[in-house]
Amino acid sequence: MGNNTTQTSEENAEDYSPWDIKPGHFGSSSDNIHLFENFIDFEDLKVIQDFCPTINEWENGPESVYAEDGTCLYNAQYWNDRTCDYGILSRINPEICLILEKYILKMKYTIEDIFKVKVSHRNPVIARWFPGIEQKPHADKQLIDGRPNAFPDYDLNSLFYYNDDFVGGELYYPQHDIVVKPKPGLAVLHPGDIHYLHGVKMIESGERFTTPAFFTVIENHGAQ
Ligand SMILES: [Fe+2]
């Protein structure tokens, strides 16, 4: 056998995309934004509601991620002291972990049914939002200028809401004229690209608790 190993690394580099599911894959219709009221059962909601205000350990660990040109791809500082990650959660309250995992799986099956894909899921976390915090419109897997962020595989994403005893904190989709006032038990679902920018209005008073859940398409049976 001869040695037949001409490498084409330049060609491969040109073909490279950070996204397996490319931005725009799901189109740009508002129909891809889903709201599910009472997604969390009442009994489970009560347990989560009682637990959230008692959390006294919040993550301060991860480092921000920057592109070569210095662009911030993930701002860890923004989430410091307001994310109860899976490591903390599973240690301080395994029961809550099981409950949240149940609803992450429920959302996984919901996504698979709606979008005709198979998705992988991640461990549960709880985030808190307090007065003075807001989030500018952003996409979950892209920077606002279209470049990839640190999470290019966040293809379809969901948020669970547990409480409403706060002022402000509405979720809004500026391209779709949709404003969502969080309700206990509500879940929302949207694609992760820049056709689905979303932000959170400033929290004016009270504390707002959510679980963000990110899903990655591993098999795609839907129409392009
Ligand atoms: Fe987001």
Tens digits of per-residue pLDDT, 6-58?
Answer: 444 444 556 788 999 999 999 999 999 999 999 999 999 999 999 999 999 99
Residue 224 clears pLDDT 90, i.e. is over it: no
pLDDT of residue 210: 98
Give CA–CA dist 73/83, Å, rounded.
18
Give CA–CA dist 224/211, Å, rounded.
29
Q: How far apart are the first and last CA of the chain?
A: 42
pLDDT band at 67 (very low <50, low <70, confident <90, very high): confident
Q: Coil, strand or helix: which one is 36?
A: strand
Query: What is the Å distance from ligand 1's center to 2 Cα?
Result: 53
Higher pLDDT: 102 or 66? It is 102
Query: What is the Å distance from ligand 1's center to 195 Cα?
Result: 12
Query: What is the Å distance from ligand 1's center to 137 Cα?
Result: 8
Query: What is the Å distance from ligand 1's center to 6 Cα?
Result: 43
Query: What is the Å distance from ligand 1's center to 27 Cα?
Result: 18
Query: What is the Å distance from ligand 1's center to 46 Cα?
Result: 25
| Burial label, 35 (beta-carbon count in 10 A; 0-12, 13-18, 19+) | middle
pTM of the model: 0.90
Residue with tokens 């809004």: 172
Query: What is the Å distance from ligand 1's center to 220 Cα?
Result: 22
Question: 21 and 220 in contact (C-beta within 8 Å)?
Answer: yes
Query: What is the Å distance from ligand 1's center to 172 Cα?
Result: 11
Domain 35-220 CATH assignment equals 3.40.710.10: no
E strands, the chain, are: 34-36, 65-66, 72-74, 83-84, 117-120, 126-129, 135-138, 156-161, 166-168, 171-173, 178-180, 187-191, 198-200, 203-206, 208-220
CA 54 vs CA 20, 41, 98, 209: distances in Å:
40, 21, 18, 12
Query: What is the Å distance from ligand 1's center to 1 Cα?
Result: 53
- Mark the residues whose beta carbon lies below 5 A from ion ligand 1: 140
Query: What are 123-149's pLDDT values in tens digits?
Result: 999 999 999 999 999 999 999 999 999
Query: What is the Å distance from ligand 1's center to 135 Cα?
Result: 9
Six token digits for residue 134? 């807001």
Lowest mean pLDDT among 46-55, 80-89, 188-197: 80-89
Residue 215 clears pLDDT 80, i.e. is over it: yes
pLDDT of residue 78: 81
Amino acid of residue 104: I
CA 149 vs CA 18, 72, 152: distances in Å:
9, 8, 6
Query: What is the Å distance from ligand 1's center to 206 Cα?
Result: 21
pLDDT band at 74 (very low <50, low <70, confident <90, very high): confident
pLDDT of residue 135: 96
Mean pLDDT of the chain: 92
